[in-house]
Each structure stands twice: as structure tokens, then as C-alpha cells.
Structure 1
Amino acid sequence: MSEFTVRPAWPAEYPAVGALTAAAYVADGLIGQDDDYARELADAARRAEHAELLVAADANGLLGSVTIVQPGSRYSEIAREGELEFRMLATAPAARGRGVGEALVRAVLDRARTTGAEAVVLCSLDAMRSAHRLYARLGFTRRPERDWEPRPGLWLRAFRLVC
């Protein structure tokens, strides 16, 4: 197991960040390759115009990514004033089991603390059970009153952690 670092994504990496993110969701069976959401996940350059992109990388390349959004911004779903939100957490299938997802979430928590946010929030599909275990281990709690349905039959479950 090699070491990796978490850092802001570089503009030259945006195509690879997008491809990694979409591929991780497709590999988990959460979306199809041709879904509209797959195209949104693949467009990291557009996300970077409205959000912060962090990556986990080692000497061989990118291992994972996460998108950090402010309340009221283009990619925010449930963040309220004083909260930071993260979305599109993805670990390359070949990098799973190395702590990449946890390192990315911890970097989001560090970012929240440095910006003075009082809490971090996120939404997740029911099928993302391994992510839910990670969130619980880090201290996130379910916030069912903030669950929402972006389209009929697709419920997103809300989680929150006070910083």
C-alpha cells in the first residue's frame, strides 16, 4: 500500500477527475454509463467553476475525488447558512480499501473548520452502504427531516456532522 496525498485538483486533471468520478459510480451500479448524471459527474471542469475539487493522488495518479460546495451555490443540495456540503465522493475501484474515501472526507472536515463552518452535510443514496458506514464512523448522523427526492423514486438521505 503506497502513500497518497489529498490536495486541490489541478485544471489539467479535470478530465481525469471527471472520468474517475463517473467510472466509480458506474462500477458500483449506481448509474449507467449514458445517464445524464454520468455526464454531470464527468464534467469536473464545470464543477470547478462553482465548487472546490479535492483529489487523492499518489505517484501513479489519481485515486479519488470529492466536490466541496457552499450553501446556495450551483451544486449545493441541502447546505444551509453556516454549513459546508460535499458531493460526488468517489474512489477509483482499484484504490478501494486504502483509506482514500476517509482521507477525502477528513480533508472536507478540515476545510470546514478552517472556513468557520459549523457543520458539514451531504446526501447519499440508500445503496451507498459502505459510504454510510464511513460517515457513521466519522461521526455523521442521519438527518431524515432533510432527505429529499430529486426525481420520483430517487430518494437522497441526508447526513450531518457538527464541526
Structure 2
Amino acid sequence: MSTPCASDWCQRVVRVVSAVVSREVDRHPGAATIVRPAPRRLGRMSSTDPTSPNPTPASAPGGVEVRLVRDGEHEAVGALAREAYAGDFVLSATYLVEIESVAERAHEVWVAADAATGALLGTVSTPRAGRRMSAVARDDDELDFRFLGVSAAARGRGVGEVLVRHVMELAARRGIRRVVLNTGPEMQSAQRLYARLGFSRLHEREHVVDLPSGRSFLLMAYGRDVEAAPESSAA
């Protein structure tokens, strides 16, 4: 039996995924039903420290560095995110405004930049220490992320993987045991990335969302356990 999707976060997710599934604009939230559980996996990663107030950019393979967005870059990062999403999907006008509103976000906005030229290649957002961005994160020792996007020009360089590994590394530095996220059924390239990096489906956190059109889709959930970095410290 479906239940109302009442939270602001749930309504935002429904808007984006319903647009992806239906290829229409200006959708409204439907309803959700929880389904069955999935197993968990363990993983290990390197240890940079992005938890300080002004973290040093983290070097990554392929001449890419990951750092917090800088003053004056918000508009460019918003445009990059819009391109990354709208290039593959027809999204609602409401959601496009949200992903472009980088300066208004109350969480951490990270960018992947070309180490040689400084060109912005991709972006991802994480909650500040001790907070959550969405309902998929249910425990204090879980870190969720949103708005993962790579510019069309940078695709094929492994930028998406660099950003997801950065999120896992951030969780490890904060002593958080698991990274979780939501994705839509048609975001198949992202699903392949998550599977390659050791994420598993969290079926018990997935919702069947009913759309006003009569169609429905499965809002998918993924998670991966991480091991805390040595001498981890909270931000």
C-alpha cells in the first residue's frame, strides 16, 4: 500500500526521477512503498583530509583535483550540474532551478577540477559534519550525497569515480561507517559506477513512487560500508 511522499526531500526526489522516467516536465510527488532488504559490502580507501575549514585540494589520478567550491564559481558549478543532468534527461523546471542554486545550498559543494588548467569537470554535494541531506541516510554513522554530475566534455576521464571515492574518503575521515545514496532507474551509467565501486542495493530503503499519470517507478537506494581512516577526526 502506498503512503504519501510528504517531506521536502522526498518531493524533490520525486520531481527529478519522475521527469527522468516520464520524459515530461513539472511533475508532482506521488507515493511510496518500502520493499525488501539487500546485503552490505565492505570497502577500504586512501586518506586525505577534506574535513578542515579550508581543506587542501586532494590530488586524484588523471590530473584531477577535488576541492570545495570557491567564491565566484557557484554559477559555473550550477551550469555544469544542469548540463550533466539535462544532457541525458528531460527534467522539471523546478528541479533544474534547484540543482543550479549552488550558492544557496546549506551543505558542502565539492568540485573536480583539472589540475593543470583549473577547468571545472564535475561536482558532488555532501552534508556538513553531523547532518544529513536526505532520508536515505537513517543513522548517525551514515553519509549521503547528492547532485553528482560530470560535464559532457570531461566524460571518459573517470571524474565520476574520483568524486564518489572522495565522498567515501570523507566518510572515512569522519569515522562514518557507510555511504548511501538514491538514484533513478534510468541512471544506468551511475548504477554501473556504484556497482564497480562496491556499492550494494539497499532494497529495504527503496520506494515505489506512483505518479499522477498512473505510471510508477522504483526510487533505488545504494550503500557501501567504509573503514575509518587512521586517526580520523570529525569536521
The answer to whether the 8 A contact 1:24-1:90 is kept is: yes
1:24 equivalent in alignment to 2:84:
yes
The answer to whether the 8 A contact 2:185-2:217 is kept is: no
CA distance, structure 2, for counterparts of residue 103 and residue 5 of structure 1? 9
Residue equivalent to 1:66: 124
Normalized per residue, the structure richer in strand is 1
Would the alpha carbon gap of residues 82 and 97 (structure 1) be closer, same or farther in structure 2, given more than 3 Å must change? same
Under a length normalisation based on structure 1, what TM-score does the superposition of the two structures give?
Answer: 0.89
Structure 1 runs (4+) greater than 6 angstroms displaced: none
Residue equivalent to 2:113: 57
Percent identity between the aligned chains? 42
Paired residues in the alignment total 158
SS of corresponding position for 1:41: helix
Measured after TM superposition, the shift of residue 124 of structure 1 is 0.3
- Runs (5+) with no aligned partner, structure 1: none
- Runs (5+) with no aligned partner, structure 2: 1-61, 227-235
SS of corresponding position for 1:46: coil
Normalized per residue, the structure richer in helix is 1
State the Cα RMSD in Å: 2.0
| Larger Rg belongs to | 2
What letter corresponds to residue 77 of structure 2 in structure 1? V
2:71 to 3, 8, 11: 11
Task: For residues 62-92 of structure 1, give each alpha carbon's deviation from its aligned partner in whole angstroms, at most 9, with x where no partner exists.
Answer: 000001126754x323112210001110000
Residue equivalent to 1:79: 137
Would the alpha carbon gap of residues 115 and 124 (structure 1) be closer, same or farther in structure 2, given more than 3 Å must change? same
Residue equivalent to 1:159: 222
SS of corresponding position for 2:72: helix
SS of corresponding position for 1:53: strand
Under a length normalisation based on structure 2, what TM-score does the superposition of the two structures give?
Answer: 0.63
Residue equivalent to 2:103: 45
Structure showing greater relative contact order (alpha-carbon pairs closer than 8 Å, 6 or more residues apart) = 2
Identify the range of structure 1 (77-86 vs 35-44) with the bigger mean alpha-carbon deviation.
Answer: 77-86
